[in-house]
Amino acid sequence: MLEFFRRHRGAFLITLTIVIIISFSVWGGWKSEGLPMASSSDPAFTMYGEQYSVGEMQRLERYQQVAGMLQMYDLFGLSSAAQEPEAGGRDFVFNLLVLQREMERLGINPSDAEAKAELEKQPAFQEEGKFSPQRAYNAQQMLGMYGMNAADMLEVAKISIGYRKVQDLIGKNYIPSPLETEKSYASRHQTLKIQTIDFKLEDFKKAAQIKDDEIQKYYDENKESYKSEEKRAVSYVFFENPKDPAPETPEKKDEAKKDGDKKDAAKKEEPKDPVAERQKLLKAQVDRVNNFNNASFEAGAKFDDIVKKLNEKAEKVALFTKESAPAVIKDEPELLTQIFALNKDARSISDPVKGAKGYYIFTVTQTEESKQQDLPAVKDKVKEALVAQKAQEALAKAVNDARTALQDGLKAGKKIEDIAKDKKLTLTAVKELTVDEPPTDLPNAFQIAREAENTAAGEVAKAVDTDTGATVVYVAARELRKRDDSAALRKNTEDRNASQERNRLFKAWFAGKRKEAGLSMQLKVSA
pLDDT tens for the chain, 527 residues: list them. Answer: 344 333 333 333 333 343 444 344 333 343 433 334 567 888 999 999 999 999 899 889 888 888 888 888 888 899 999 998 888 888 999 999 999 999 999 999 999 999 999 989 888 888 888 888 888 888 777 777 666 788 888 999 999 999 999 999 998 888 888 888 888 888 888 899 999 999 999 999 999 999 999 999 999 999 988 988 999 999 999 999 988 655 555 555 566 555 555 555 444 555 566 667 878 888 899 999 999 999 999 999 999 999 999 999 999 999 999 999 999 999 999 999 999 999 988 889 999 999 999 999 999 999 999 999 999 999 999 999 999 999 999 999 999 999 999 999 999 999 999 999 999 999 999 999 988 888 888 888 999 999 999 999 999 999 999 999 999 999 999 998 888 888 998 899 888 888 889 999 999 999 999 999 999 988 764 44
Q: Is residue 51 part of a domain?
A: yes
Residues 85 and 197 in one domain: no
Whether 14 and 65 map to the same domain: the answer is yes
Give the pLDDT score at 278.
78
Of 236, 242, 196, 467, the residue nearest 352 (C-alpha)? 236
| β-strands 353-354, 126-127 pairing | unpaired
Residues 166 and 310 in one domain: no
Point out the domain boundary residue: 368, 399, 419: 368
18 plus 132 within the same structural domain = yes
105 CB neighbour count, 10 Å cutoff? 10
Beta bridge partners of 354: 359
**pLDDT score at 9:** 33
464 and 350 within one domain = no
- Can you give the CATH number for the domain in which 322 is found? 3.10.50
pLDDT in the model for residue 282? 87
At which of 329, 347, 368 does a domain end?
368
Tell me the torsion sign for CA atoms 205, 210, 215, 221. negative
Rg of the chain over all Cα atoms, to the nearest angstrom: 32
Residue-wise over 53-68: b if at least 16 C-beta within 10 A, else e? bbebbbbbbbbbbbbb
Identify whether 527 is part of a domain: no
Same domain, 283 and 345: yes
Query: Would you give the distance in Å from CA 463 to the centre of its chain?
Result: 30
Residues 361 and 383 in one domain: no
pLDDT for the residue numbered 269: 55
Structural domain ending residue among the three candidates 368, 386, 418: 368
Beta-strand ranges (E) seen in 146-210 are: 191-200
DSSP state of 349: B
Q: What is the pLDDT of residue 280?
A: 85
Residue 321 and residue 398 in one domain:
no
341 in the same domain as 213: no
Alpha carbon of 364 to those of 202, 309, 326, 328: distances in Å?
43, 19, 15, 16
Question: Is 424 part of any domain?
Answer: yes
The answer to whether residue 393 sits within a structural domain is: yes
Based on the fold, state whether residues 153 and 9 are members of the same structural domain: yes
* Number of domains, the chain: 3
The C-alpha atoms of residue 110 and residue 159 are separated, in whole angstroms, by 8
Establish if 186 belongs to a structural domain. no
278 and 307 share a domain?
A: yes
Structural domain containing residue 120: 3-173+506-521
Q: What is the pLDDT of residue 177?
A: 86
- Residue 20 sits in the same domain as residue 154: yes
In a domain, 26, yes or no: yes
- Look at residue 218 and tell me if it is in a domain: yes
Contact partners, residue 423, CB within 8 Å, separation at least 6: 402, 405, 406
Residue 463 to residue 485: CA distance in whole angstroms: 33
Question: Does 286 map to a domain?
Answer: yes
